[in-house]
Amino acid sequence: MLRLPAIAIFLTLLILVSCEDEQSVSAALGEVPDTVSENFRQVTVSSTGRMEIEAGRVESYGKKDVTVFLEALLREFDSTGEKTLEGSAERIEITGDRDGFAEGGIRIHDYSGDSSLEAEYLNWDNRERLLTGEGKVRIESGDGLTITGDGFVADMARETYRFTEGVEGTLELNDDD
Protein backbone atom coordinates (compact mmCIF):
# COMPACT_ATOMS: atom_id res chain seq x y z
CA MET A 1 0.00 0.00 0.00
CA LEU A 2 1.00 3.61 -0.43
CA ARG A 3 3.36 4.82 2.25
CA LEU A 4 1.18 7.49 3.84
CA PRO A 5 4.21 9.30 5.19
CA ALA A 6 5.33 9.74 1.57
CA ILE A 7 2.48 12.18 1.01
CA ALA A 8 3.36 14.11 4.15
CA ILE A 9 7.02 14.18 3.12
CA PHE A 10 6.06 15.59 -0.27
CA LEU A 11 4.13 18.47 1.28
CA THR A 12 6.45 19.03 4.26
CA LEU A 13 9.64 19.16 2.19
CA LEU A 14 8.21 21.88 0.08
CA ILE A 15 7.68 23.84 3.28
CA LEU A 16 11.38 23.73 4.04
CA VAL A 17 12.81 25.17 1.17
CA SER A 18 0.03 26.30 -10.66
CA CYS A 19 -1.59 28.98 -11.55
CA GLU A 20 -2.20 29.44 -15.32
CA ASP A 21 -1.47 33.16 -15.00
CA GLU A 22 1.37 34.18 -12.68
CA GLN A 23 -0.38 37.44 -11.75
CA SER A 24 -3.43 35.55 -10.47
CA VAL A 25 -1.47 34.23 -7.46
CA SER A 26 -0.70 37.78 -6.31
CA ALA A 27 -4.27 38.89 -6.99
CA ALA A 28 -5.75 35.92 -5.12
CA LEU A 29 -3.63 36.63 -2.06
CA GLY A 30 -4.17 40.40 -2.33
CA GLU A 31 -0.49 41.05 -1.90
CA VAL A 32 2.63 41.46 -4.00
CA PRO A 33 5.17 38.70 -3.24
CA ASP A 34 8.23 39.62 -1.18
CA THR A 35 10.35 37.12 -3.07
CA VAL A 36 9.92 35.43 -6.44
CA SER A 37 12.18 32.62 -7.62
CA GLU A 38 11.99 31.33 -11.19
CA ASN A 39 13.17 27.85 -12.16
CA PHE A 40 13.71 26.96 -8.49
CA ARG A 41 15.78 23.86 -7.70
CA GLN A 42 17.05 22.62 -4.35
CA VAL A 43 19.04 19.45 -3.70
CA THR A 44 19.53 18.21 -0.16
CA VAL A 45 22.01 15.38 0.42
CA SER A 46 22.31 13.32 3.60
CA SER A 47 23.67 9.93 4.65
CA THR A 48 20.25 8.38 3.92
CA GLY A 49 19.99 9.74 0.37
CA ARG A 50 19.10 12.78 -1.67
CA MET A 51 16.01 14.99 -2.04
CA GLU A 52 15.41 17.18 -5.09
CA ILE A 53 12.75 19.89 -5.17
CA GLU A 54 11.96 21.81 -8.34
CA ALA A 55 9.35 24.45 -9.13
CA GLY A 56 8.74 26.65 -12.14
CA ARG A 57 8.08 29.52 -9.77
CA VAL A 58 8.13 30.08 -6.01
CA GLU A 59 6.48 33.13 -4.43
CA SER A 60 6.84 34.16 -0.79
CA TYR A 61 4.27 36.44 0.89
CA GLY A 62 5.60 37.75 4.21
CA LYS A 63 2.50 39.50 5.56
CA LYS A 64 0.33 36.43 5.06
CA ASP A 65 3.19 34.04 5.92
CA VAL A 66 2.52 31.99 2.77
CA THR A 67 4.80 30.36 0.22
CA VAL A 68 3.40 29.27 -3.16
CA PHE A 69 5.13 26.66 -5.36
CA LEU A 70 3.95 26.51 -8.98
CA GLU A 71 4.61 23.46 -11.18
CA ALA A 72 6.27 21.65 -8.27
CA LEU A 73 8.20 18.38 -8.50
CA LEU A 74 9.85 16.37 -5.73
CA ARG A 75 12.16 13.37 -6.08
CA GLU A 76 13.63 11.27 -3.28
CA PHE A 77 16.57 8.88 -3.71
CA ASP A 78 18.04 6.38 -1.24
CA SER A 79 21.75 6.19 -0.35
CA THR A 80 22.45 3.95 -3.39
CA GLY A 81 20.91 6.50 -5.78
CA GLU A 82 17.72 4.48 -6.35
CA LYS A 83 14.60 6.64 -6.76
CA THR A 84 12.18 5.92 -3.89
CA LEU A 85 9.55 8.65 -4.30
CA GLU A 86 8.37 11.15 -6.89
CA GLY A 87 5.57 13.67 -6.55
CA SER A 88 4.20 16.61 -8.49
CA ALA A 89 1.42 19.22 -8.39
CA GLU A 90 0.52 22.33 -10.34
CA ARG A 91 0.27 24.45 -7.19
CA ILE A 92 1.24 24.00 -3.56
CA GLU A 93 0.58 26.65 -0.93
CA ILE A 94 2.20 26.38 2.51
CA THR A 95 1.68 28.63 5.54
CA GLY A 96 4.20 29.41 8.28
CA ASP A 97 2.47 27.00 10.67
CA ARG A 98 3.12 24.25 8.06
CA ASP A 99 -0.50 23.84 7.03
CA GLY A 100 -1.08 23.83 3.32
CA PHE A 101 -2.72 22.44 0.26
CA ALA A 102 -1.85 21.11 -3.17
CA GLU A 103 -4.03 21.33 -6.23
CA GLY A 104 -4.02 20.43 -9.88
CA GLY A 105 -2.70 17.20 -11.29
CA ILE A 106 -1.33 15.83 -8.01
CA ARG A 107 0.62 12.63 -8.57
CA ILE A 108 2.72 10.81 -6.01
CA HIS A 109 4.52 7.56 -6.79
CA ASP A 110 6.16 5.51 -4.04
CA TYR A 111 8.70 3.32 -5.86
CA SER A 112 9.77 1.41 -2.75
CA GLY A 113 6.15 0.48 -1.96
CA ASP A 114 5.14 0.18 -5.63
CA SER A 115 2.07 2.37 -5.18
CA SER A 116 0.73 5.71 -6.36
CA LEU A 117 -1.83 8.37 -5.51
CA GLU A 118 -3.58 10.81 -7.86
CA ALA A 119 -5.82 13.70 -6.84
CA GLU A 120 -6.89 17.19 -7.84
CA TYR A 121 -6.89 18.69 -4.34
CA LEU A 122 -5.25 17.69 -1.04
CA ASN A 123 -5.24 19.67 2.21
CA TRP A 124 -2.64 19.22 4.99
CA ASP A 125 -3.40 20.02 8.65
CA ASN A 126 0.02 19.88 10.30
CA ARG A 127 -1.14 20.05 13.93
CA GLU A 128 -3.60 17.18 13.49
CA ARG A 129 -1.32 15.36 11.01
CA LEU A 130 -4.30 14.88 8.68
CA LEU A 131 -4.27 14.86 4.90
CA THR A 132 -7.69 15.24 3.29
CA GLY A 133 -8.78 15.21 -0.31
CA GLU A 134 -11.62 16.94 -2.10
CA GLY A 135 -13.06 15.25 -5.16
CA LYS A 136 -11.83 11.92 -6.43
CA VAL A 137 -8.64 10.43 -5.02
CA ARG A 138 -7.18 7.36 -6.72
CA ILE A 139 -4.76 4.93 -5.09
CA GLU A 140 -3.04 2.12 -6.99
CA SER A 141 -0.78 -0.55 -5.58
CA GLY A 142 1.56 -2.86 -7.42
CA ASP A 143 -0.34 -5.89 -6.16
CA GLY A 144 -3.27 -5.09 -8.47
CA LEU A 145 -5.48 -3.06 -6.12
CA THR A 146 -6.99 0.19 -7.42
CA ILE A 147 -9.26 2.31 -5.21
CA THR A 148 -11.00 5.53 -6.25
CA GLY A 149 -13.19 7.45 -3.86
CA ASP A 150 -14.43 10.69 -2.37
CA GLY A 151 -13.87 12.04 1.13
CA PHE A 152 -10.24 10.89 1.41
CA VAL A 153 -8.79 11.21 4.93
CA ALA A 154 -5.28 10.02 5.83
CA ASP A 155 -4.18 10.02 9.47
CA MET A 156 -0.41 10.25 9.16
CA ALA A 157 0.21 9.68 12.86
CA ARG A 158 -1.54 6.30 12.65
CA GLU A 159 -0.53 5.57 9.04
CA THR A 160 -4.13 4.84 8.01
CA TYR A 161 -6.42 6.19 5.34
CA ARG A 162 -10.12 5.94 4.54
CA PHE A 163 -12.77 7.26 2.20
CA THR A 164 -15.85 8.77 3.87
CA GLU A 165 -18.11 9.41 0.89
CA GLY A 166 -17.99 6.29 -1.23
CA VAL A 167 -15.38 4.19 -2.92
CA GLU A 168 -15.04 1.88 -5.87
CA GLY A 169 -12.18 -0.34 -6.84
CA THR A 170 -10.76 -3.31 -8.63
CA LEU A 171 -8.46 -6.12 -7.64
CA GLU A 172 -6.54 -7.93 -10.35
CA LEU A 173 -5.15 -11.29 -9.36
CA ASN A 174 -2.36 -13.00 -11.26
CA ASP A 175 -2.85 -16.75 -11.51
CA ASP A 176 0.59 -18.33 -11.62
CA ASP A 177 -0.83 -21.86 -11.65
pLDDT per residue as tens digits for the range 80-132: 999 999 999 999 999 989 999 999 999 999 998 899 999 999 999 999 999 99
- What is residue 30's predicted lDDT score, i.e. its pLDDT? 62
**What are residue 124's DSSP bridge partners?**
100, 131
Q: DSSP string covering 87-136, please?
A: EEEEEEEEETTS-EEEEEEEEEEETTTTEEEEEEEEEEETTTTEEEE-S-
Nearest-5° angle of CA 171, CA 175, CA 177?
160
- What is residue 156's predicted lDDT score, i.e. its pLDDT? 86
Instruction: Give the Cα separation of 77 and 14 in Å (integer).
Output: 16
User: pLDDT class for 4, splitting at 50, 70, 90?
Assistant: low
Three-state DSSP class for residue 30: coil
- What is the rounded average pLDDT of the residues 59-68? 92
Question: Whole-structure pTM over 0.85, yes or no?
Answer: no
Q: DSSP string covering 124-153, please?
A: EETTTTEEEE-S-EEEEETTSEEEEESSEE
Give 165-174 pLDDT, tens digit per residue: 989 887 777 6
DSSP state of 1: -
Q: Number of H helices and number of E strands within the chain?
A: 2, 12
- What is the rounded average pLDDT of the residues 53-74? 94
**What are residue 47's DSSP bridge partners?**
none
Instruction: Give the Cα separation of 17 and 45 in Å (integer).
Output: 13
CATH placement of domain 4-19+32-134: 2.60.450
**What are residue 149's DSSP bridge partners?**
137, 167
**pLDDT of 34 higher than 80:** yes
**pLDDT of 53 higher than 70:** yes
Where do the structural domains in the chain lie, given as residue ranges?
4-19+32-134
- What is the rounded average pLDDT of the residues 65-69? 93
Give 139-159 pLDDT, tens digit per residue: 998 888 899 999 999 998 898
